[in-house]
Amino acid sequence: MNEKYTSKTFLVEIFAIFLGILFLIPFYFVIINSLKGFSAILLDAAAWPEEFLFSNYAAVWEVLNFPKAFLNSLVITVFSIIGIVLISSMAAWKMVRTPGKMSSILFIFFVSAMVIPFQAVMIPLVKLGGMLGIMNSIPGIVMMYFGFGVSLSLFLYHGFVKTIPLEIEESARVDGCTQFGVFWRIVFPLLKPITVTVVILNTLWIWNDYLLPLLVLQDAELRTIPLATSSFFAQYTKQWDMGLAGLVLGIAPIIIFFLFLQKHIIKGIAAGSIK
């Protein structure tokens, strides 16, 4: 029995290692080719570079004005995440704790919004944004991310709030806690596992998003990292050496962010399974 179990575990581990290597192959090509010259990339994209050209990164840093693009992406992502978490967590809690026809209808509307493709609302969104005067501005695109991000986040919070015993909130109210205090002092700390999940999912989406910033942010000073990097990939000319270096600079912060929250992700999964 132990031999079968050991053999099965070994095969699973080998398969997991194989999958890990398979998913790391694109990273290999991006990182290795970002350190080559343009001609070396065209000759053999899979070959190890004969000379590591870190000058590609220095050139990209200057050409893209990377600090400015990084700051734009950071501001948009941080404020969008804060708004999405606050709106969706409070709305989900209120819907769960006040069951009724209106709460059910609102929840159905939010869930239904997730199946509407972004391409279907692009033109109306641009027209409405122009009418409201929020186009070509960071606050404007942050507000748009609120609208697109709340549906999925509310759906996740809605399911998690149901696992929180109502008796905890009732005890807090008996002790004189207000409704506002019940949410922020009792409920929201208990939502940490799902909050981490919501933050990660939306951060990956907003940081890497290209289409919405392309539609909204026309000013070069407002460009995010994906928009700035896309300038290396024109219709007739593709600067692979510079473009790949820009991609590495763009994905490095999000990888560091993910690794930093890795332990919280594991804790969140464990806490969710216990609940």
Q: What's the rounded Cα separation, in Å, for the pair 65 and 75?
A: 16
64-107 tens-digit pLDDT: 888 999 999 999 999 999 999 999 999 999 998 888 888 889 88
CA 191, 197, 200, 203 dihedral sign is negative
pLDDT (tens digit, 9 = 90+) per residue, 18-51?
888 888 888 888 888 888 888 888 888 888 888 8
**What average pLDDT does the chain have?**
85
What pLDDT digit, counting tens, does each position of 170-205 carry?
A: 888 887 888 888 888 888 988 888 898 889 889 989
Query: What is the pTM assigned to this prediction?
Result: 0.85
Amino acid letter at 193?
P
Predicted confidence band of residue 272 (pLDDT cuts 50, 70, 90) = very low
CA–CA gap between residue 93 and residue 163 (Å, rounded) = 11
Residue 266 has pLDDT above 90, yes or no: no
